[in-house]
Amino acid sequence: MRFDVITLFPAQFKALTQEGVVARALRRGIAEIHLRTPRDYTADPQRAVDDRPYGGGPGMVMQYAPLRAALDAARADAAAAGVSSRVAYLSPQGAPVDQAKIVEIASASGWVLLAGRYEGVDERLIEDAVDEEWSIGDYVLSGGELAAMVVMDAAIRLLPGVLGHADSAGQDSYASGLLDCPHYTRPETAAGRGVPSVLLSGDHAAIERWRLQQALGRTWERRPELLRKRGMNDVERQLLDDYRREALRSGSRAGSKPSEQ
Ligand SMILES: C[S@@+](CC[C@H](N)C(=O)[O-])C[C@H]1O[C@@H](n2cnc3c(N)ncnc32)[C@H](O)[C@@H]1O
């Protein structure tokens, strides 16, 4: 899979490309990230790519021409490598990116990502050259670089061969519409607290059942709307009922947290 990113700050992407899961995927050739700056596509002697907004007001706006030239060059390079890329602009006004969208993004062969700065980009560029607008949350960042990195990290880790264990991504939060279950590792006792005994039992079916029950319980406690959207089968409903009964019995806050569904 190939990402081409248009950014004024290519160095920021070292955070993604030099260490960790994504860096390993790049080294193995499973994914490619190509960075280019619109400053290389302006005739301005100062290499400026922004100007004051028409109508006045604070801030600057990224100009059409250098961004358009950079986007066209990125798409042409990708096409020359046999990759047909759509263009996505990272924007707080875009469609919210959730895990289902990440799966869709990861299934494409390539994307050109446009990271904005200042007040954003000239609207005509969005109308002419952008296929999709993506938001990573209802807050405003200083630039689209972090947003582009968030999306690329989430997508690249889903590509076959990237994660160590084939099932890792499938068990993560959201993969099955639920939050992930709690995890424990050595030592068996930490700060006087033990590990749920089922995890030490060696009974794989019981462990799977417990994990599913915890995932259902957590989702019900923390994100009940996800559970309503996903629905449950009879076995899962029973597991959640037992979880809630136990939570009430043990007096944990979890027993009374969300509204009944
Ligand atoms: C300061 S913001 C511009 C915000 C813009 N004036 C608005 O209110 O919609 C600069 C750039 O950061 C990026 N950005 C900010 N928040 C974002 C978010 N929640 N998701 C994705 N990109 C974001 C966009 O690329 C945007 O062009």
**pLDDT tens by residue, 37-92:** 999 999 999 999 999 999 999 999 999 999 999 999 999 999 999 999 999 999 99
Write the DSSP assignment of 100-150 as a string of letters: HHHHHHHTSSEEEEEE--TT-B-HHHHHHH-SEEEESSSS--S-HHHHHHH
pLDDT value, residue 254: 54
Helix (H, G, I), strand (E, B) or coil at 132: strand
pTM of the entire structure? 0.94
- Are 10 and 114 in a shared domain? yes
- Is the same domain home to 199 and 92? no
Of 156, 187, 221, which residue is a domain's last? 156
Q: In a mutational test of the pocket of ligand 1, which residue from 119, 141, 149, 151 has the highest number of ligand atoms less than 8 Å from its CB? A: 141
Residue nearest to atom 15 of ligand 1 (CA): 141
- Whether 162 maps to a domain, the answer reads no
In the reported structure, the alpha carbon of residue 140 is separated from the centroid of ligand 1 by a whole-number distance in angstroms of 5
For residue 260, name the pLDDT band (cuts at 50, 70, 90): very low
Return the CATH number at 44.
Answer: 3.40.1280.10
Ligand 1 atom closest to the Cα of residue 115 is 25
| Eight-state DSSP code of residue 255 | G
Candidate of 50, 126, 140 to mutate for ligand 1, largest count of ligand atoms within 8 Å of Cβ: 140
Q: Which residue has the higher pLDDT, 164 or 222?
A: 222
| Residues 149 and 185 grouped into a single domain | no
Q: Is the pLDDT of residue 244 over 80?
A: yes
pLDDT in tens, 143-180: 999 999 999 999 999 999 999 876 678 778 888 999 99
Buried b (16+ CB within 10 A) or exposed e, 43-77: eeeeeebbeeeeeeeeeebbbbebbbbbbebbbeb
Residues 149 and 208 in one domain: no
Cα distance between residue 145 and residue 11, in whole Å: 10
Query: Both 144 and 50 in a single domain?
Result: yes
Domain containing residue 201: CATH number: 1.10.1270.20
Task: State whether 188 and 128 are in the same domain.
Answer: no
Write out the two tokens for 5.
């990113």
| 105 and 226 in a common domain | no
State how many domains the chain has.
Answer: 2
Task: Of 42-56, 166-180, 221-235, 238-252, give the lowest mean pLDDT range.
Answer: 166-180
Across the chain, mean pLDDT equals 95
CA-nearest of 99, 111, 121 to 49 is 121
205 and 132, same structural domain? no
Can you tell me the mean pLDDT for 175-198? Answer: 96
Query: What is the C-alpha to C-alpha distance for residues 170 and 172, in angstroms, rounded to an integer?
Result: 6
Tell me what pLDDT residue 253 has.
56
- Cα separation, 261 vs 216, in Å, equals 13
Tell me, yes or no, whether 140 and 33 share the same domain.
yes
Residue 122 lies in a domain: yes
E strand residue ranges, the chain:
2-6, 32-36, 50-51, 61-62, 86-96, 110-115, 132-135
Amino acid making up residue 235: V
- Residue with the bigger pLDDT between 254 and 3: it is 3
Mark which of 156, 189, 224 sits at the end of a domain. 156
Same domain, 88 and 177: no
CA atoms of 156 and 27, how far apart (whole Å): 13
139 labelled as ligand-binding?
Answer: yes
Report the alpha-carbon distance of residue 31 to residue 71 in Å, rounded: 19
243 annotated to a ligand binding site: no
Q: Does a structural domain hold residue 166?
A: no
Residue 95 in contact with ligand 1 by CB distance below 6 A: no
Residues 62, 118, single domain; the answer is: yes
261 falls within a domain:
no
Question: Cα 53 to chain center, whole Å?
Answer: 31
Q: What would the pLDDT profile of 80-126 be if each residue is shown by its tens digit?
A: 999 999 999 999 999 999 999 999 999 999 999 999 999 999 999 99
What HEC string does 21-44 produce?
HHHHHHHCCCCEEEEECHHHHCCC
SS3 198: helix
Q: Whose C-alpha lies nearest to ligand 1, atom 18?
A: 92
Of 100, 128, 156, which marks where a domain is finished?
Answer: 156
Neighbours of 92 (CB within 10 A): 17
Tell me, yes or no, whether 163 lies in a domain: no
The length of the chain in residues reads 261
- Residue 48: both structure tokens together: 């400026």
Q: How confident is the model at residue 261 (pLDDT cuts 50, 70, 90)?
A: very low
Distance between CA atoms of 43 and 49, rounded to whole angstroms?
A: 9
**Structural domain includes residue 117:** yes
Residues linked to residue 4 through DSSP beta bridges, in sequence order: 34, 112
Helices (H) and strands (E) in the chain, counts: 10, 7
Residue 168 is assigned to a structural domain of this protein: no
Residues 133 and 220 in one domain: no
Let me know if residue 200 belongs to a domain: yes
Side chain identity at residue 229, one-letter code: K
Residue 237, domain extent:
173-256
Protein residue whose Cα sits closest to atom 6 of ligand 1:
119
